[in-house]
Structure 1
Amino acid sequence: MTEAAIRRTPGTPCWVSLMVHNLAETQEFYGTLFGWEFRPGPQQLGPYVRGLLDGKEIAGIGQLPPGRQLPPGRQLPTAWLTYLATDDADKTAETIRSHGGTVGVGPLDAAEAGRMAIASDPTGAVFGIWQAAAHTGTVVAGAHGTPVWNELITRETSWVATFYKSLFDYDVEALVSADSDEMTLRLDGRPVASLRGTGRALVRDRGAHWMTYFEVDDTDAAAKVVTGLGGQVLRAPWDGPNGRFATVADPEGAVFTIVRSAVR
């Protein structure tokens, strides 16, 4: 395991979190799948815990408020949320608004941990921004159960790339291909995230969204654990240029991708 740098360059994915209906059952799922242990985190938005590996913070899971505003039998959707680092959450929130995005929560202080906001880009993809104080974000990389990549899945990349470039000093590298719409976001010469346009194939019930990739020791074995714990395999394991992948969902429907990276 290696510790990540304490200060992230603004725009670097630095944390992922999940809001769920049943916190205890979700802890059991991710604890078994990834080996996380848990301890309480800031409670401003309700019950919240941080997943740990060897005592080091990996990701957050919180309890959704009751969905009283929804019709009977329906619940608020659950989804993993990618946070992008910022040195000034208030300034970044204003930039989001001025470039066609929406700020839904905050900016607000999360106790002594830092300052955050939750926003959506012009295509509706939800993401967070995090101004670190005591809590700098995920501090372990490369081990089983750690976030290793974040990708925006959207209909078309060029317009939304302009939005994210207005927020942070990304260098945008397009993959030149007749049948692919992909871009890599780089900071300080280093790839930090990607954008993937899927055109009309964009899943209608999810729309544009950020996808979190978690490292696993064995993709096929981890996919079997997912189903054994009540989750689903949405795309069976496949080999890609950077490793072996599978897209899965937890028992509440939160979608994520697991990968055994080709280079660890």
Structure 2
Amino acid sequence: MTEAAARRVPGAPCWVSLIVHGLATTQEFYGRLFGWEFSPGPDELGPYVRALLQGKEVAGIGQLPPDRHLPIAWTTYLASDDADATAEAVRSCGGTVAVGPLDAGRAGRLAIVSDPGGAVFGVWQAAEHLGTVLKGVPGTPVWNELVTRETASVAKFYQVVFGFEAEAVVSADFDYQTLHLEGRPVAALHGVGNALQRDRGPHWMTYFEVADTDESAARVVELGGHVLQPPRDTPSGRLATVADPEGAVFTIQRSVGG
């Protein structure tokens, strides 16, 4: 277990958040699944809570205005030293800026953007709030991965905007690139071709560490969620892809050696 309170290298995933219709019921689901507790704020953008483990911030959940009907999805935030400059780079490289850049009180400055394929992600310029403080224990984000049709066209976007170095897995039937910063893998691009769901399109997937993938997948169902891909073994650990009661998709993982 290590704490991750230091300012992130620009481009590194630093936070995940979820905006839902039912804030209280969503807190109940994740509280019982991951053992999260919650503290309020900041509420400049509407009702919002931060999820805590061991008193340390690991994720955020906010509430949609009743008249807004947006897709319910976990959003990965990538760190930036200058959200305005990053948003401009997103635009100039063929992406879209949907929200901001704007201040989130004293916590920092953010933008919600999408890459040229339409995958939505956040940009976070930290002030008082540096991002996820705890990692490596069950209930914390452990990995972030872009699921897209094919990686070649979008890899250049992330390399130019954030300075990633991309390392491709050389395989005729596996389109996968790991994104590195300062020599360390921080995220990945996964091309799934025609297996990409048309109703979702390209999207960033959040992986959460769990103590037991099978038990957690069963718990998801007990709590009103769904298992989309049942537990399976991979080189990085045992994974299952699941959805919460409002349909937000995420992956649970017991990491190798975890």
Structure 1 counterpart of 2:106, from 99, 112, 121 = 112
CA RMSD between the two structures: 0.8
Question: 2 CA distance for matches of 1:161 and 1:66?
Answer: 36
Match in the other structure for 1:8: 8
TM-score calculated relative to the size of structure 1: 0.96
Deviations 1:9-54 (A, max 9, x none): 0000000000000000000000000000000121122100000001
Find out whether 1:208 has 2:205 as its counterpart: no
Equivalence for 1:186: 180
Match of 1:42 in 2: 42
Following superposition, the deviation at residue 76 of structure 1 comes to: 2.7
Alignment of 1:103-252 (within 5 A): 103-252=97-246
8 Å Cα contact 2:5-2:131 kept in structure 1: no
Please give the TM-score of this superposition, normalised by the length of structure 2: 0.98
SS of aligned partner of 1:257: strand
Q: Is 1:79 aligned with 2:69?
A: no
1:62 maps to what in 2?
Answer: 62
Structure 1 residues without counterparts, runs of 5 or longer: 69-74
Contact persistence 1:145–1:216 (CA under 8 A)? yes
1:72 match:
none
Alpha-carbon distance in 2 for matches of 1:78, 1:170:
28
| CA drift at 1:256 | 0.1
Equivalenced residues, count: 258
Q: Who is 2:248 aligned against? A: 254
Shift of 1:263: 2.3
Instruction: Indicate the residue corresponding to 1:28 in structure 2.
Output: 28
Which consecutive aligned stretches of 4+ in structure 1 deviate over 2 angstroms post-superposition?
none
Identity of aligned residues (%): 71
Shift of residue 171, structure 1, vs aligned partner: 0.7
Give the 3-state SS of the residue equivalent to 2:31 in structure 1: helix
Is the counterpart of residue 92 in structure 1 residue 96 in structure 2?
A: no
Q: What letter is aligned with 1:66?
A: P
